[in-house]
Structure 1
Amino acid sequence: MPKKTLKEHSINREWCKGCGICVHFCPKNVLALDEMEKVIAVRPEDCICCKLCEIRCPDLAIEVILEPEKQEASE
């Protein structure tokens, strides 16, 4: 199975209530709360695309967007 590659974290800051659940569940400490108590991706290069933040967010405020998978040429 090919490795998933992150395109971006889509964060709806209006929906985010700053509960920190996504920050808590991120295994690579990619996310943090900023000075406004809203989630931001502080280390997106470390994201493993597990989508735990997306799954756990009670407000549906975060989406992990992946790069399209490259199809390998069949022989």
Structure 2
Amino acid sequence: MAKVKGAVVVNEERCKGCDLCVVACPTDTLALQSKEVNDRGYHFAYMARPDSCIGCSNCAVVCPDGCIEVYRVIVK
């Protein structure tokens, strides 16, 4: 049976670190960057555990700034 793997791309410069995507992720894939900040001074979201992403798009749906894109790949 094929398995779906996902990939999340965050526009780091638009992300304001609101943490909504991190909370909405059912697999704890996303986290907020603790050391780096973007040009506006916010800690941005990133894929902390990329292997656990299932491509559900919950993060993209709840993002108020529309700075998240989700891609899905079927792995055989």
What's the TM-score, normalizing by structure 1?
0.78
- Provide the C-alpha distance between the structure 2 equivalents of 1:54 and 1:13, rounded to a whole number of angstroms: 14
Structure label with greater radius of gyration: 1
Of Structure 1 and Structure 2, which has the larger fraction of its residues in strand? 2
1:21 counterpart residue number? 20
Amino acid at match of 1:63: E
Question: 1:23-70 CA distances to partner (integer Å, 9 max, x unpaired)?
Answer: 011011100001231101000100111110011100111111122x59
Higher RCO (CA < 8 A, seq sep 6+): 2
1:48 counterpart residue number? 54
1:73 counterpart residue number? none
Poorly superposed stretches of 4+, deviation over 3 Å: none
CA RMSD of aligned residues (A): 1.7
What's the TM-score, normalizing by structure 2?
0.77
Structure 2, unmatched stretches of 5+, are 38-42
